[in-house]
Amino acid sequence: MNVKQLLKKLSIFFAIMLLFCVTNISNPALALTPQNLYDRAWKLINSKYVDETQNNQNWNRWRHKYDNVIKDEEDAYVAIGTMVDSLGDVYTKFLTPKEYKEESESIQGSLKGIGVQIGVRDGKLLIIAPLEDTPGERAGLKSEDEILEIDGKSTKGITVEAAADKIRGPEGTYVKLLVKRKNEEAKTYNIQRANIELKSVSTKAPKLGKVDDNLGYIRLSSFISRNASSEFQSALNQLKDKDGIIIDLRSNPGGLLTNAIYIADMLLSSKTIVSTVDRDGYKETQNSLSQTTTNQPIVVLINGGSASASEILAGALKDNKRATIVGKKSFGKGLVQEINKLPDGSALHITIQKYLTPNGVDIHKKGITPDYDVEITEADIKANKDPQLAKACEILQQKAGKQTSVVR
């Protein structure tokens, strides 16, 4: 292996280890001019972006496009944002210093807001998932809800970053959202912001339905916090005497790739977890170790709000026949981003790879199809029933050789 191959292998390894891999491009103390900041962003995308054609465009046209326009940092930010938008990739984005600071806080485990993950799809601002036990969830917001207005202003054409900035705010203040749910009239929600502690794992009984006493239930609401994998390990230890485990990934928007790999490693023995492929076709595979934390039968619950790291975990367990997947098709985000920190405190998320499930399946914009497609309706919710959870219990009881005894 020559030096170039070795360096490439090492760079891929570190990109795999973190979905959000922070790269200090240079010493922040060495301030760049606004024009140089723009040029640095251009070079990063030119060298790293997963599609070396930059979405079939002449990337050189952006190199000097704003040479006589950029006068200060705000000009540079607008110019970089415009350049990034030309890629047509909602996951490759520019973050101002304020936005990057807020993102870093969420990875550390806390933020101030209402606790919802948002995204833009087909020009619509959607709630991907409300986080468990947050103001957004308690107000009744749900996956796939469309946010039409924020504090009386239309979200038409808004970016995810701009929307997040409007929704977040000081603890105790309120934000008003006009929300449209499928087949329902638009409704206004006035929600009080709070300090959101991002606890990722819960073994509490679910709000809908019931889990049989001999089965364990783990709700994994997010992979964002660095503590998610250690919390999951504690949950497995707590439930080690159960006849089977239900892992609930419904409305889990994803987060750190390391968490998905660590958790999959707890459940798989000497198996492929995920592979990533870069713009040059270089493929790197992550395998689990030989020992597992548990050999208990597993059912994983997914839905349209299960995305990114959730899909990596579900795909690894499904393809290796380690778990049965129940619910609805997942969101379909099969791309890996790297965060590149810029000297002024801003940052660039750049899509650097696509990932494949152990069977080599590219799930981007396709999602993971469950083994058992089970719908949950508004009527079920009103009746305090969860058919997906009930199916999971039924499957695990069959594996345990027992009859399910609970009416759900």
Rounded to whole angstroms, what are the CA distances from 292 to 216, 234, 271, 296? 17, 14, 11, 10
Is 271 known to be catalytic?
A: no
Per the listing, tokens 């839905």 go with 303
Token pair for 124: 């619509």
- Is 39 catalytic? The answer is no
CA–CA distance, 209 with 202 (Å, rounded to integer): 16
3-class DSSP assignment, residue 300 = strand
Residues recorded for the chain: 408
Q: Which of 333, 341, 354, 391 is catalytic?
A: 333
Is 319 an active-site residue?
A: yes
CA 396 to each of CA 19, 137, 267: distance values in angstroms, whole numbers, following the listed order: 32, 29, 16
Distances (CA, A) of 315 to 50, 138, 256, 285: 22, 30, 16, 14
Per-residue tokens: 47? 């060298």
How many other C-beta atoms lie within 10 A of the C-beta of residue 61? 10
Which one from 11, 143, 308, 346 is the annotated catalytic residue? 308
DSSP-assigned states of every residue in 120-135: EETTEEEEEEEPTTSH
Q: How far, CA to CA in Å, does 96 sit from each of 162, 184, 245, 353, 357? A: 11, 36, 42, 23, 33
Q: Which of 212, 248, 278, 319 is catalytic?
A: 319
| CA geometry: angle 24, 28, 34, nearest 5 deg | 105
> What is the set of active-site residues?
308, 319, 333
